[in-house]
Structure 1
C-alpha cells in the first residue's frame, strides 16, 4: 500500500508534463520581402461600435498612402502576405 501512492503521484506528474518542449517562435520584427504587387494583410482597429476584428490586405504603396509603415506594424498586426495571383508569398 505504501508503494502505490508514490507510483500514482509519479503517473499524474508524468501525464501532466508536456511530451516535448515546444520552441517559442519569435514574431518577425519586419514584414517579409515580396514582389511590389504583393498585398500585406494587417489587423486594423474595428469599426466604431463593433468588436469584430478587421483584416485588410493592401500593397506597400497603398499602406504608405494611408501613412502606415508596414515594417513597423508587422510585429504587432501582421497576418500574412498574399503574392500575385492570390497565392501566399
Structure 2
C-alpha cells in the first residue's frame, strides 16, 4: 500500500513539474530574429503546397527572404524555426 502511494506521488510530481526543455523553443520564438551577417540563413515555416498537409521549412538569408517579400523580423515570432550561421 505504501508503495502505491509513493508511486502515485512520484507520478504526480513528474506530471505537475514544469519542463524547462519545453520552455526553451517557445522563448526563442517570442523574440525578434537573431542578428547575423549576410551569410546567416534564417529557417522559417512557409505555407504548404495546395493539396498537402506537410509543413515546409525554407532556410534563406535576409536578402533572399526580402526578395520574396518577407520581413524576417516581423515574421520570426510566428514562423521562425532556427538560424544557420
TM-score grouping bracket, smaller chain normalisation: 0.7 to 0.9
CA separation of 1:82 and 1:11: change in aligned 2, threshold 3 A: closer
Structure 2, unaligned runs of 5 or more: none
Q: RMSD over aligned Cα, in angstroms?
A: 2.0
Give 2:58's match in structure 1, choosing from 47, 56, 59.
Answer: 56
CA distance in structure 1 between the aligned counterparts of 2:51 and 2:18, rounded to whole angstroms: 41
Per the alignment, residue 9 of structure 1 pairs with 5
Aligned to 2:14, the other structure's residue is in SS state: coil
Whose helix proportion is higher, 1 or 2? 2
CA-to-partner distance for each residue in 1:16-64, whole Å, 9 max, x for gaps?
3218542333234211111112111111010011111111111101111
What displacement does 1:10 show?
Answer: 4.2
User: Please, what TM-score do these two structures have when normalized by structure 1?
Assistant: 0.72
What displacement does 1:9 show?
Answer: 3.1
Where do 1:1-80 residues align within 5 Å?
A: 4=1, 7=2, 8-18=4-14, 21-23=18-20, 24-25=23-24, 26=27, 27-80=29-82
Aligned to 2:63, the other structure's residue is in SS state: helix
Larger Rg: 1
Structure 1, unaligned runs of 5 or more: 84-89
